[in-house]
Amino acid sequence: MKRLTLTAILAAAALLAACNKIPNESIYTELDSATIKRATKADTAFAQFYEGVHEIAQFYNHDPKYEQITYRRLYNYIKSFSDTTEIQKLNNGWEAEWKELSADNLRSADSLIEVWQLFLDAHPEIDIQEELSKSDPQVPLTIAGCIMSKDDPQLYAWVRDLMITAEIDSNHVGKNSYLDSKFVEYSKDKDSLCYLFIFSGMLEN
């Protein structure tokens, strides 16, 4: 335990030292080569980071509202997402929330799929793959998709969400959409201005 604690402290100290060498100037400030070299020595990713920041700044035509963001502030913001263990822990929590919120819909979906599976078992003449290509299928397309994707958990979960929306609850929020929305909230809460600087251009296009 002491070794792990010491390792964590040393890692944090190294990160802090790197952060302190990242210029604390506005991202609209052009840095001289010596400053860039010094920051890149602290973190080899800084040169690419610096180029990316200026590409985004040009995209916004140097919008004054982002002038208060410094290289260090944005660097720390982006660096905070590198803790994949923490992100995975949050993701697991959000997924548990989604399962609880969607419990009734998921149960209804499983029951509906089971009913249709029994129907297909009783009518072997129905080719479920052919159903997918029909303009007026006997089996709803999303139901057929669920039955056909049972051996692929990720695909099945995605198709099941589509089926729930189509057949059970039009207001249903799929797992991927829910997780994405929670991650957006998390990202905004960390630093809303940095979030806007990085992502709003993507959202507008």
pLDDT at 13: 34
Taking the C-alpha atoms of residue 30 and residue 55, their distance in angstroms, rounded to an integer, is 12
Residue 59, pLDDT score: 87
pLDDT of residue 202: 53
Q: Which residues pair with 26 in a beta bridge?
A: 70
Q: Which stretch of DSSP H or E encloses residue 179?
A: helix 175-190
Tally of CB atoms within 10 A around 46: 24
What single DSSP character describes residue 62? Answer: S
| SS3 assignment for 45-100 | CHHHHHHHHHHHHHHCCCCHHHCCCEHHHHHHHHHHHHCHHHHHHHHHHHHHHHHH
Beta bridge mates, 70: 26
Q: What CA–CA distance (Å, rounded) separates 179 from 93?
A: 10
* CA separation for the pair 94, 73 (Å, rounded): 27
pLDDT at 80: 86
pLDDT at 201: 57
Rounded to whole angstroms, the Cα distance separating 80 from 86 reads 10
Instruction: Report the alpha-carbon distance of residue 114 to residue 2 in Å, rounded.
Output: 53
Closest among 197, 168, 158, 176 to 74, alpha carbons compared: 197
Look at residue 147 in the predicted model and tell me its pLDDT. Answer: 94
The pLDDT profile of the chain, 205 residues, written as one tens digit per residue, is 333 343 333 333 344 445 667 889 999 999 999 999 988 888 888 888 888 898 888 888 889 999 999 999 998 898 888 888 999 999 999 999 999 999 999 999 999 999 999 999 999 999 988 888 888 889 999 999 999 999 999 999 999 999 999 999 999 999 999 999 999 999 999 999 999 998 875 554 4
Q: Whose CA is closest to 145, among 164, 159, 162, 130? A: 159
